[in-house]
Structure 1
Amino acid sequence: MPPPELVLRAPGPGLLGLPWEQPLADWDATAVPLRDVEVGPSRHLVRFVETDGALWALKDEPVRIARREYDVLRRLEDAGLPAARPAGLVEQPDHETAVLVTRYLTGSWQYRRLFLRLPPNRPRHRARLLDAMVSLLVELHRHGVFWGDCSLANTLFVRDGQLLQAYLVDAETSEIHPGGLSDGQREHDLSILVENVAAGMIDVATWLERPPEIFGDLIDEATALTDRYRTLWGALHAEPVFPFDDRYRVEGAIRELNDLGFAVDEISLQPEDEGRSRLRIAVGDRTFHSDRLRALTGLDVGEGQARILLGDLEAHREWMHRRTGMDVGERAAARSWSDHCLVPGSEQAHRALGRVGDPVQAYCDLLEVRWILSERAGADVGDAVALAALGGRAPTDSAAKMAVADATTGELPRIVDPPPS
């Protein structure tokens, strides 16, 4: 009997000691630290193991498919794309199968859990989920990745400020084309997305026994993914032509991309006829705000969180200016903001939520709740009122309840799965 062939990128004693010589389906929960994690439909057996201080997803596949998926995930990781992180590949020649090992995406949830908490009459919450799907597909296509099976079931979602970040977690059918994708390949992948998302949403609506009349709305929302995709793709690849004297339009184009979260690597103005120029912009990764925040504070957060935190930092800097009557440098303001706002605010917000989820995300939620309540009150309500609303200690205040729902994308942070024990 040939022994298994192991390739592990995190060779801790727990992973090494698993019964790799046995089929994954035969692993005994009394002898292996298996953990129950809800998963959506899958063509292959998926089990979860908690060991070496982490949670790992194990998927049983034919050897050829497992090798291919492991290679694709490695390349997606090298490119910094939002996808499951491969941790190992174990080939079991005696069983003509292999086990793909990936790191569990902490703080993530599947669309079924998300839909359970999305009111059917609040389509804007579903819109954020669909925006995340479109953004993921655009990012993959920009890097020459053909997904091949883009669907809700193959995606995990993580809260990032007031955005949802989508992650690819199934690359069985994915292909990487270093020379880029053709328009036909992109359109084919987009059509798969629309079809699969519509089917997935209707499946969940049926499962939740939602009224049949909502199905038409869900299909329309899925169909609108095409326009969402083309709008974002067009913004990233537009090549406007304008008179050379109108160079101010360059700054406007850069600002538009930065507002979408994209950094700009390089611009070029190519001469056209009649004294006009064509603007070409080399767009970098979607890390503009997170890069800026990291440079100022050393804090490494998501793009959506960074956008909110930078706004809070700028407000603190303005407060310092009014208080001292002096201009305050960005770095000095960042140090003060971190000490007096971020650190204590994250602790308070995290405590208000029972210390569930990410402290930085909790602080972002606190800022949004305070802003919404202040807008409705016509004055700054302060942290105490916002903390009470965020922690659910204002049960009779319908405005506070709505503020929390709006600020947290309809998903109270407390529903985030706790980290492995």
Structure 2
Amino acid sequence: MSGSLNITSATVDPALLDLPWNLPLDVWPESVIASLPKGISRHLVRFVHLSGYVIAIKETSAELARREYDMLRTLQKLDVPCVEPVAVITNRTTDDGEVLNAVLVTRHLKFSLPYRALYSQTLRPDTATRLVDALAVLLVRLHIIGFFWGDVSLSNTLFRRDAGAFAAYLVDAETGQLYNGLSNGQRENDLEIARVNIAGELLDLAAGGRLDEEADPVEVSNGIVAAYRSLWKELTGSESFSSSERWRINERVERLNNLGFDIEELAIRTDDEGSKVRIQPKVVDAGHHQRRLLRLTGLDAQENQARRLLNDLDSYTATYKKKGVDEEMAAHDWLARVFEPVIRAIPRDLKGRLEPAEIFHQLLDHRWYLSQNENRDVPLAEAVTSYVDSVLRHRRDEATIIDPLTSAITLPTQVVDDEGDWRSKV
């Protein structure tokens, strides 16, 4: 390295010093580059191997790099799904003294994919809709904490599988700003940016023949408006009802919990006559099922995955007559007798195909279909063997994807089914 390199990081990995910071990012040697799918970005981004994991390096100005680094750290503290900031590196120069751009370093989100990598020859309408729905949930979560994104798009988002759906993570916070709260105008501005950007991204796929002919890019992009407003109303809207219908308070709480949100405070008011009750959630926090699963089992999963695992845990508790047992003890028993044996049964060479929680979710689906087709209760061990041989072996590795699909590469030997799952053609 040449010059006095400046690294800003909460926890510095010494291996950062071994990377060729004296070279422009676009000429870094292939020996350090990780071949992973990338979204569209206004800046040059490269993926690099570091200490057994992968980092994303984005060239930008020193001011923007520091600002985005601070913003991502703040969002992490607020428990918002986003990439993890690693470092800001400035004062880069070549061996000849030429000044190079500063970089922002973030940790690659394992098992995540940009939207352009979620297709082979075509992106199916159902998959496109689920991506937009996931982005709508992320946007609502951001707006609840007062974050104005300013550049909402599929390209600035990473997606991870979540029990048949997708979970969205913010990647680019360069244009974002955090306020004490957002006005309706600010929220509508972000929503319009999202609608226009998504339509443009899907039209780009359509122009390249990579969007299913049945999918209407404008209709799909308009879906984020409907999904956002429906969720926003459920989370923040107030409702009135007769004082004799107080059960509706618990019903509202349950609906919010089913959406994956917790209520930290609920405002309840009655009119002067005491005949009408008005309720409104004051503070809403996401991750209800995630937190319950983590508390009971120590498993860290996506929200829908957590809901599915908890359903299996509750079924196990009821089926094996453990209702009188303490909830934590029943969860420990389920973890030791059901979940962990399933994950241990996955061959070592297939463990990187999907996250453990997603594997378990898909196994439950596979077992159900087997039982339906064979008109019998298929044992779990038999279902595991069948799932591994007929499903998991035919998936690509999503922990670290080598030779990925990008906008410039198509692999006709693979297809995406209606559930957005990768399978090999046979």
Q: What is the TM-score normalised by the length of structure 2?
A: 0.84
Output the CA distance in 1 between the equivalents of 2:76 and 2:390: 42
Which deviates more from structure 2 when the two are superposed, residues 17-26 or residues 254-263? 17-26
Please tell me whether residue 146 in structure 1 is matched to residue 141 in structure 2. no
Aligned residues of 1:60 and 1:99 also touching (Cα < 8 A)? yes
User: In the alignment, what sits opposite 1:304?
Assistant: 304
Output the CA distance in 2 between the equivalents of 1:394 and 1:100: 38
Aligned residues of 1:9 and 1:87 also touching (Cα < 8 A)? yes
Q: CA RMSD in A?
A: 2.7
The residue type equivalent to 1:149 in the other structure is: D
For structure 1, the 5+ residue unaligned runs are: 396-403, 415-421
Which deviates more from structure 2 when the two are superposed, residues 20-29 or residues 63-72? 20-29
Query: What pairs up with 1:50-65 in 2 under 5 angstroms?
Result: 50-65=49-64
1:366–1:413 Cα change, 3 Å: farther
Output the CA distance in 2 between the equivalents of 1:286 and 1:379: 38
Output the CA distance in 2 between the equivalents of 1:394 and 1:91: 46
Pick from 110, 126, 132 the counterpart of residue 106 of structure 1.
Answer: 110
Look up the SS of the partner of 1:166 in the other structure: strand
Identity among equivalent pairs (%): 38
Output the CA distance in 1 between the equivalents of 2:278 and 2:159: 38
Shift of 1:302: 2.0
Query: What pairs up with 1:219-298 in 2 under 5 angstroms?
Result: 219-275=218-274, 276-298=276-298
1:198–1:126 Cα change, 3 Å: same
Aligned residues of 1:261 and 1:289 also touching (Cα < 8 A)? yes
Output the CA distance in 1 between the equivalents of 2:247 and 2:92: 63
User: In the alignment, what sits opposite 1:417?
Assistant: none
Look up the SS of the partner of 2:345 in the other structure: helix
Output the CA distance in 1 between the equivalents of 2:210 and 2:36: 24
Shift of 1:75: 1.1
Look up the SS of the partner of 2:366 in the other structure: helix
1:16–1:210 Cα change, 3 Å: closer
Q: What is the TM-score normalised by the length of structure 1?
A: 0.85
User: In the alignment, what sits opposite 1:164?
Assistant: 166
For residues 145-183 of structure 1, the C-alpha deviation after alignment (integer angstroms, 9 at most, x for no partner) is 111111111111111223311111111211111x11110
Please tell me whether residue 115 in structure 1 is matched to residue 112 in structure 2. no
Please tell me whether residue 362 in structure 1 is matched to residue 359 in structure 2. yes
The residue type equivalent to 2:420 in the other structure is: G
Query: What pairs up with 1:346-385 in 2 under 5 angstroms?
Result: 346-349=343-346, 353=350, 356-375=353-372, 377-383=374-380
Please tell me whether residue 330 in structure 1 is matched to residue 330 in structure 2. no
Look up the SS of the partner of 2:48 in the other structure: strand
More helix by percentage: 1
For residues 188-227 of structure 1, the C-alpha deviation after alignment (integer angstroms, 9 at most, x for no partner) is 100111111111122123323557x546x23211112111
For residues 361-389 of structure 1, the C-alpha deviation after alignment (integer angstroms, 9 at most, x for no partner) is 21111012222443455543333554355
For structure 2, the 5+ residue unaligned runs are: 94-98, 393-415
The residue type equivalent to 1:380 in the other structure is: D
Which deviates more from structure 2 when the two are superposed, residues 66-75 or residues 366-375? 366-375
1:360–1:347 Cα change, 3 Å: farther
Look up the SS of the partner of 1:284 in the other structure: strand
Output the CA distance in 1 between the equivalents of 2:128 and 2:377: 30
The residue type equivalent to 2:279 in the other structure is: L
Shift of 1:53: 2.0
1:15–1:137 Cα change, 3 Å: same
The aligned length equals 394
Look up the SS of the partner of 1:165 in the other structure: strand
The residue type equivalent to 2:4 in the other structure is: P
